[in-house]
Amino acid sequence: MAHGDSNELKAIIDRALDASKGGATVVRVHRFEEGATRYANSEITQNIVRKDSAFEVEVAFDLQVGRCTTNRLDDEAIMDCVRRAEAIARVAPPDPEYMPPVAPAPCPGVPTACEATFAATPADRADAIRKAVAAAESEGMKGAGVFSTGALAIAVGNSAGLFVHNEEAEAGITFSATAPDSVGWARGRARDIRRLDVGAVARRAVEKARAGRSPRDLEPGRYEVVLEPAAVDEILTFLFYYQMDAKATDEGRTFLTGKKGSKIAASNVTIFSDPTWPRCPSRPFTGEGMVLGRTNWIHNGVLENLLTSRFWAKKQGIAPTGMPTNAVMEGGDASVEDLIRSTRRGLLVTRFWYVRAVEPMRDLYTGMTRDGTFLIEDGKIVAPVKNLRFNESAVHLLDTVELLGPQELTGEYDWSLVPYLKARDFHFTSTTRF
């Protein structure tokens, strides 16, 4: 699997910068390759390889800004893209939020590349899937999911002299084990494919499907919950998307307006971003090329920072955070068994799906449980239950956290390292037929 050479990408960026006639120019080059093997009913159904590049140039004459993108990296296409961006800029109205290019700054190296992952083949994925599916077949179940491996190189350069570059690898698998009346699901992610235990992922899914047979109905209401990392990550994603923008919050357009510096979560809740974090390394710069450091979003329950762009930071006289490339929620010393034992009457939730905002100004979201929901009574799992719909606030969930367990690497889009957690008073509003 091919990946990007920093010298080659820098040469492309330098050609564009040299050709630009703008007062300020920013160039981004992305190069990626992804292989994905899909399987259903315990058989491989599709194998694809996607390989592409993206060249993006932003040219500014004072506050007039033009942008153009192409997926060709030859000289002719690059020159044409630069000229188009210049032409757009000359006729564009002034952008009052335009910020000049980021100044160069030391950029830390992060271990996001992995030659073993770059070298993974369709045969490697197929062999791992074959062994994983066998775990489901041995229990009379079917296996389904997708196993993907990818390489991504990103470089950013600008007319202020900045150049940053990062290569990253990703290996990830989802596995659904399906029985006649139950489904179990699990996910694994890693930078290094050698650390991705596909067999363990499949066994977790099979165990959930086995335990989930003959689910019972359960009355909706407020329950204690033990949430697995995939469920925690889903809720945190919506918190960041709808509530954490500094500009919107300062303008009174989010639930968190007026709450910065205040306690909004339980004292054991700390959430931060740090691209150099050993268990969750990620790209150490933004799409503008701004170097990212550690940012505490919530520390010991207190809301310390919001997502702050360079424009809004300058307007407010504070430091920008930029858009983070990972999220880490600190875990605790409790085991998963401890979380269950501490629950008088509640639910163990594998993951949520189809989550949507109901009332963003109230931080209220709805969604459903999926692929493994279990009733806990007096510290023991007593029965699988049919899925339930919830209406809940992400902030309320964090404020009711009682115990934290081990962390797992997860994330649907970006990289997240989040724990199992136990919370109280989670609102389930209705039941389903499955």
Q: What is the pLDDT of residues 217-227, one digit of tens each?
A: 999 999 999 99
Q: Is residue 1 part of a domain?
A: no
Domain that holds residue 127: 6-208
Q: Is residue 430 part of a domain?
A: yes
pLDDT of 3 strictly over 80 = no
Mean pLDDT taken over the chain:
97
Which run of H or of E encompasses 132?
helix 122-137
Do 324 and 426 fall into the same domain? yes
Q: Is the CB of residue 271 less than 8 Å from the CB of residue 328?
A: yes
Nearest-angstrom CA–CA distance, 433 and 217: 8
Do 144 and 90 fall into the same domain? yes
Q: For residue range 231-275, what is the model confidence (pLDDT) as tens digits?
A: 999 999 999 999 999 999 999 999 999 999 999 999 999 999 999
Do 194 and 288 fall into the same domain? no
Pick from 208, 240, 260: which residue ends a domain? Answer: 208
Do 181 and 228 fall into the same domain? no
Nearest-angstrom CA–CA distance, 91 and 66: 9
Q: Is residue 324 part of a domain?
A: yes
pLDDT band at 5 (very low <50, low <70, confident <90, very high): confident
Pick from 181, 208, 235: which residue ends a domain? Answer: 208
- Count CA atoms within 13 Å of residue 359 on its CB side: 7
Q: Is residue 106 part of a domain?
A: yes
Give residue 413's pLDDT: 78
pLDDT band at 4 (very low <50, low <70, confident <90, very high): low
Comparing CA positions, the residue from 69, 317, 340, 80 lying closest to residue 228 is: 340
Q: What is the mean pLDDT of residues 110-130?
A: 97
Q: Is residue 373 part of a domain?
A: yes
Do 145 and 14 fall into the same domain? yes
Tell me the pTM: 0.96
Do 228 and 189 fall into the same domain? no
Q: Is residue 262 part of a domain?
A: yes
Do 291 and 404 fall into the same domain? yes
Do 425 and 289 fall into the same domain? yes
Nearest-angstrom CA–CA distance, 405 and 334: 5
pLDDT of 141 strictly over 70 = yes
Q: Which residues contact 231 (CB under 8 A, 6 or more apart)?
A: 349, 350, 351, 352
How far from the centroid of its chain's Cα atoms is residue 315's Cα? 29
Pick from 208, 230, 251: which residue ends a domain? Answer: 208
Comparing CA positions, the residue from 326, 344, 339 lying closest to residue 406 is: 339
| Helices and strands (H and E) in the chain: how many | 10, 17
Q: What is the mean pLDDT of residues 89-116?
A: 97
Do 231 and 373 fall into the same domain? yes
pLDDT of 2 strictly over 60 = no
Q: Is residue 281 part of a domain?
A: yes
Q: Can you name the residues that pair with 227 across neighbouring β-strands?
A: 349, 421
Do 203 and 243 fall into the same domain? no
| Domain count across the chain | 2
Do 162 and 107 fall into the same domain? yes
Give residue 203's pLDDT: 97
Do 183 and 239 fall into the same domain? no
Helix axes of 122-137 and 198-211: crossing angle, nearest 10 degrees: 30
Which run of H or of E encompasses 7?
helix 6-19
Q: Which residues contact 362 (CB under 8 A, 6 or more apart)?
A: 255, 393
Give residue 434's pLDDT: 87
- CATH number of the domain bearing residue 70: 3.30.2290.10
pLDDT of 185 strictly over 90 = yes
pLDDT of 388 strictly over 80 = yes
Q: For residue range 24-74, what is the model confidence (pLDDT) as tens digits?
A: 999 999 999 999 999 999 999 999 999 999 999 999 999 999 999 999 999
pLDDT band at 1 (very low <50, low <70, confident <90, very high): very low
